[in-house]
Amino acid sequence: MKLKILIVSILFFQIFQSKGMNPLGIMDIIIDSLENRINIRTGNQKNKSDLIFELNVANDMSYFTDYYFSSGINFKVYAPFMVKSPVSKIMLPHHADNINYYALTITHHLYTPIYYDSLTLRSIDHPFAAYLLFGNRKESFNAVKRYKLTSELQLGLIGPLAGGQMFQNTLHDYIPFAGSVTGWETQIGNDICLQYASLLEKGIACNKWFELNAYAGGKLGIPHTEAQLGVYGRIGYFGDYFRHIGINRNETWQLWLFCAGDANIVAYNAVLQGGLFNHSDPNTLKTINHLLWHTRFGGTLVYKTIKFEIAQEVVSPPFQTGLWHRWAYVSLMIGF
């Protein structure tokens, strides 16, 4: 595992250079934040007291595929009491001028193969898998230097106890053209998940109608150990991305179209390779693709403290015999 992480770090550094970007310039922001860690304990931090709920629902049903990443729910509760969580102390440090949001998160993802009933194709198809994670999240915005730091620690489980079979078949009961999915008895077995994720977003260009940002991040642990590098652009009518979380009762209408693309270097993927203790499961894959391409594009509408987003995501094949896959998601954020 240590060797994989080292390889990911080296490749991650090389991607920065190949894109003509200066990795040290990005690191300056992180170092500056670390040098100001003492400000966290002086009481000068600006923690938002808003109560915000965000729900993101993703599914490939819109394309009648129902395989690979089949369904996902991500729920976040941003609340002032989360700053007092002991886990918040191991989130990424921030500058005293940053505006910070702390959240409790719940993530439920499930995955299915193309051929539900074929045991002979198990070694070249996606395994049945599901995980359920509970997390402590921090988002820190700096409007002056135009960057955002996100960090999150998640704990949960992968396997039958995550409820993937029950969730999918219950959902299909209410969809006239979707039948019951058989084969979940072969899903990846129960195992513990522990994952730390971080993301740095930095503004590149911005004017009244256009914005371009770069981002770099990574995840370490189970279910995912990977690094990513990408760009995000949007056109429309909107406020500064790095000023706050995206909703504000003092701003009326915002509307924009966006497109993002990133390269992902994957060291380990538990939904394909199994967890910490069950990676020898016969239904797991022995090899995966370690370089994936991912894009998402869609539109966002904001009115004061309500934000609605709808988009499509596309990802390259996760393993050698796999296919390109796409799904859609809708997201709703409401602030109080």
Enter the DSSP assignment of 276. Answer: S
Enter the DSSP assignment of 170. Answer: H
pLDDT at 119: 59
What is the tens place of the pLDDT at every residue in 132-186? Answer: 999 999 999 999 999 999 999 999 999 999 999 888 888 877 777 677 788 898 8
Asked whether 280 and 249 are in contact (CB, 8 A), the reply is no
Domains of the chain: 2-335 (2.40.128.140)
DSSP E strands in the chain: the ranges are 46-47, 52-59, 68-78, 99-112, 129-142, 147-158, 191-206, 210-222, 224-237, 253-269, 291-303, 306-315, 325-335
Query: Which amino acid is it at 165?
Result: Q
CA gap 196, 191 in Å, rounded: 17
- CA 322 remoteness from chain centre: 21
Counting every residue, how long is the chain? Answer: 336
**Computed from CA positions of residues 290, 291, 297, 302, in that sequence, does the dihedral angle turn out positive or negative?**
positive
Per-residue model confidence as pLDDT tens for the chain (336 residues): 434 433 444 444 444 444 444 544 544 544 454 444 434 333 345 777 689 999 999 998 766 677 899 899 999 999 999 999 999 889 999 888 899 999 999 999 999 998 776 655 666 889 999 999 999 999 999 999 999 999 999 999 999 999 998 888 888 777 776 777 888 988 999 999 999 999 999 999 999 899 999 999 999 999 999 999 999 999 999 999 999 999 988 888 999 999 999 999 999 999 999 998 877 778 899 899 999 999 999 999 999 999 999 999 999 999 998 999 999 999 999 999
What's this model's pTM, rounded to 2 decimal places? 0.83
